[in-house]
């Protein structure tokens, strides 16, 4: 992004240098864009998230739970952590992308290498930070008083600090796999495949497809994470390898319908669709808000001559 100062005189304008942006400028823009994205998508997709949660809890149809009751019941209790979860990946990925594209260290890297780095770095930080929130969220499932602070105190009292890091390796691995596949695939799809003629719609469809593929590919590690979360606080959870190899794939091979077994255990279906649609929507919002903020920021800064 560049700021160009145009001369008001009749004579041809003299060459001007672009105004540079600092890392702090980009950090502010990415953080605000991520926050707006997180708040918007949290409110927009709360009925979907609630329907999935109740269908799993009650072992009922997702569609029946989606249209039943108040779609925003319990929304205020979880809005802060869910907004934080919704904004973090995009803020990280946006900030890392700004750094990679601006820094001369990466000028010889091709697009795939850059996107690989962005996805893996954003996934690592996202998983490392959000795992603790996920542990508390999982602990509150099925409880009447689902308050974050109270649940955190209960976990601390029963299992100590180490419990908050339960499943962190599986979470980070899941988010790295997701981030790499999502970032690499969506840019490849956008540049190589034309779903429709409209460029903006094509980008949205590319992001949606990439998110769906990334969700399925990272699904085994999400399964391992859930197994670890379900382990009682007083017990040591199984390793990620044991969860993926023994509890998922070996059990699937021994079942009469291996593919259906995998689909059910990894919850490929409405949950996958939620991630795909949610990521595509969030990416669209984030890009729009970031572009607007950068344009406003450019207009408020004096051009360098």
What local confidence, expressed as pLDDT, does residue 20 receive?
Answer: 54
Q: Give the Cα separation of 164 and 156 in Å (integer).
A: 8
**pLDDT above 80 for 145:** no
Instruction: Decide which of 192 and 6 is more confident.
Output: 192
The domain ranges of the chain are 23-238+270-300
Q: Secondary structure of 246-266 in the HEC alphabet?
A: HHHHHHHHHCCCHHHHHHHHC
Find the mean pLDDT for residues 133-158: 78
**pLDDT above 90 for 1:** no
pLDDT in tens, 117-142: 999 999 999 999 999 888 888 887 76
Are 122 and 133 within 8 A, CB to CB? no
Instruction: Decide which of 159 and 274 is more confident.
Output: 274
pLDDT in tens, 175-233: 999 999 999 999 999 988 888 889 999 999 999 999 999 999 999 999 999 999 988 88
Q: Is residue 8 helix, strand or coil?
A: coil
Find the mean pLDDT for residues 144-152: 74
pTM comes to: 0.84
Q: Is residue 204 helix, strand or coil?
A: helix
Are 195 and 205 within 8 A, CB to CB? yes
Fold category of 23-238+270-300 in CATH: Mitochondrial carrier fold (1.50.40)
Q: What are phi and psi of 74, to 5 degrees?
A: 80, 5
Are 51 and 66 within 8 A, CB to CB? yes
Residue indicated by tokens 């509890």: 247
pLDDT in tens, 43-61: 999 899 888 888 877 888 8
């Amino acid at each position: 992004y560049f700021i160009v100062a145009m001369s008001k005189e009749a004579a041809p304008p003299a060459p001007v240098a672009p105004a540079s942006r600092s890392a702090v400028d980009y950090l502010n823009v990415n953080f605000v864009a991520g926050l707006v994205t997180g708040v918007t998508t949290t409110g927009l997709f709360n009925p979907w998230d609630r329907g999935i949660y109740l269908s799993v809890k009650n072992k009922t149809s997702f569609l029946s739970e989606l249209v039943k009751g108040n779609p925003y019941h319990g929304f205020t209790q979880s809005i802060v952590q869910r907004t934080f979860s919704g904004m973090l990946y995009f803020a990280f990925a946006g900030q890392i992308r700004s750094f990679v594209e601006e820094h001369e260290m990466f000028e010889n890297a091709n697009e795939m290498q850059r996107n690989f780095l962005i996805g893996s770095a954003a996934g690592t930080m996202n998983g490392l930070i959000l795992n603790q929130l996920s542990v508390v969220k999982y602990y509150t499932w099925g409880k009447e008083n689902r308050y974050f602070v109270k649940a955190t105190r209960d976990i601390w009292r029963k299992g100590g600090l180490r419990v908050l890091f339960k499943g962190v390796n599986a979470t980070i691995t899941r988010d790295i796999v997701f981030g790499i596949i999502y970032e690499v695939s969506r840019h490849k799809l956008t540049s190589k495949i034309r779903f429709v003629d409209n460029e903006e719609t094509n980008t949205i469809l590319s992001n949606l497809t990439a998110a769906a593929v990334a969700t399925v590919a990272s699904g085994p590690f999400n399964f391992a994470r859930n197994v670890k979360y379900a382990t009682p606080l007083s017990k040591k959870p199984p390793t990620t390898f044991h969860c993926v190899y023994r509890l998922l794939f070996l059990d699937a091979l021994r079942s009469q319908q291996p593919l259906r077994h995998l689909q059910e255990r990894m919850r490929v279906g409405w949950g996958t669709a939620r991630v795909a649609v949610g990521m595509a929507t969030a990416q669209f919002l984030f890009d729009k808000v970031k572009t607007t903020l950068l344009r406003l920021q450019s207009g408020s800064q004096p051009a360098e001559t």
